[in-house]
Structure 1
Amino acid sequence: MIAEGWLPGATQRQSPHQDARPDPDDISLLVVHGISLPAGEFGGAYIDDLFMGQLDHQAHPEFAPLQGLRVSAHCLIRRDGELVQYVPFHQRAWHAGRSSYAGRRRCNDFSIGIELEGTDTAPYTKEQYQQLAQVAAELIATYPQLSRQRIVGHQHIAPVRKTDPGPAFDWAYFKQQLALLSN
């Protein structure tokens, strides 16, 4: 059960990269992302550091372009299924960037962003699918404008800029897992 925008059981880390939604009652889209820092490497604290605004931009050559980037997601699901929440759901996380869905721009205003630790090409884990399905089911039960049909990938709302969660994400398997929880 979601309490005050937070999922019980999630590790809670309050990201500074958030603000108020223009309409806190308009939560009508769930966006699935994929992330790894450095690219293709899993584990470690770099994703957490990025979302908390504490990434050491000199720690790896790939991090230099991220300097000054202010980004967050509502949640991160690590490879082992661990769930970390950075932004309460009634707040706006900064995950989608320039984006549009069904003719509406600025998807951050009305969406929830869930990051999966992964890449476009490495298969995601069963633990991640199970955790994502549980989180999605809880969100759908809590926010009436959300539905199984309003779950998309970052690639669907920013197709020129983004490719995640990519071809490695098994949409059919995820929707099967979600359906099992909804019955």
Structure 2
Amino acid sequence: MSFTLEHGWISPARHCESPHQDDRPDNDISLLVVHCISLPPGRFGDHYIDDLFLGRLDANAHPYFEGIHQLRVSAHCLIRRDGELVQYVPFHKRAWHAGLSSFDGRDKCNDFSIGIELEGTDSGDYTKAQYQQLAGVTRVLMQHYPAITPGRITGHSNIAPGRKTDPGPGFDWKRFRALL
């Protein structure tokens, strides 16, 4: 698949701009963080991830949502199980995906990172379509943001140890890196 990147938006992707973003303190984009998410946990294919990132998650739609519906979070992109790519925040803007975090001695990873969510769970495996899409997007990002190198691609668990475990042991880093 061929990608284009214009004004911070990648195509082809479904664009759903999140209100949960702001300007970066500088334009030092030098880290890619891989996450995973499913809402409710372990369920795939619904609109609830979109709803969370767009600030419209209905607290009454599922008991789990009562504790998270008020969160103001986002990611730059989501890759669904079937490989569909959804973008919520332009790459030059700061998405709110990393929380309390540190990489290579630098805190506040949201300031200098791009966050990509994979639809999945910390304990599950990911699909071939997800690996292919993630690799394609990553190659484009590495070309556009040369400070993102293979050594500056990491999991949420590595920037927030003890607090986060995603993308989990089911994510095959060797397989992903071979596709780059």
- Identify the TM-score tier after normalising by the shorter chain: over 0.9
Aligned residue number for residue 35 of structure 2:
33
Whichever residue aligns with residue 40 of structure 1, its letter is G
Distance 1:27 1:96 in 2: 14
* TM superposition shift of 1:8: 1.1
Per-residue CA deviation, residues 23-59 of structure 1 (Å, 9 max, x unaligned), is 02x0000000000000000001000000000000111
Distance 2:100 2:111 in 1: 11
> What is the correspondence of 1:154-169 to structure 2 with a 5 Å cutoff?
154-169=156-171
Distance 2:61 2:101 in 1: 30
Aligned residue number for residue 125 of structure 1:
127
Q: Does 1:148 align with 2:150?
A: yes
Q: Is the 8 A contact 2:101 2:107 kept in 1?
A: yes
Q: Is the 8 A contact 2:52 2:69 kept in 1?
A: no
**Equivalent of residue 14 in structure 1, options 14, 17, 21:** 17
Per-residue CA deviation, residues 108-154 of structure 1 (Å, 9 max, x unaligned), is 00000000000011110000000000000000000121111110000
Local SS of the residue matching 1:160: coil
Distance 2:104 2:64 in 1: 34
Distance 2:44 2:23 in 1: 31
Aligned residue number for residue 48 of structure 1:
50
**Equivalent of residue 94 in structure 1, options 87, 96, 110:** 96
User: Please, what TM-score do these two structures have when normalized by structure 1?
Assistant: 0.96
Q: Does 1:23 align with 2:59?
A: no
* TM superposition shift of 1:67: 2.9
RMSD: 0.6
Aligned residue number for residue 78 of structure 2:
76
* TM superposition shift of 1:90: 0.3
User: Please, what TM-score do these two structures have when normalized by structure 2?
Assistant: 0.97
- Following TM superposition, the consecutive aligned residue runs of length 4 or more in structure 1 with deviations greater than 4 angstroms are none
- Gap runs ≥5 in structure 2: none
How many residue pairs were aligned? 177
Distance 1:73 1:95 in 2: 5
Distance 1:82 1:148 in 2: 23
Q: Is the 8 A contact 2:29 2:113 kept in 1?
A: yes
Distance 2:65 2:14 in 1: 25
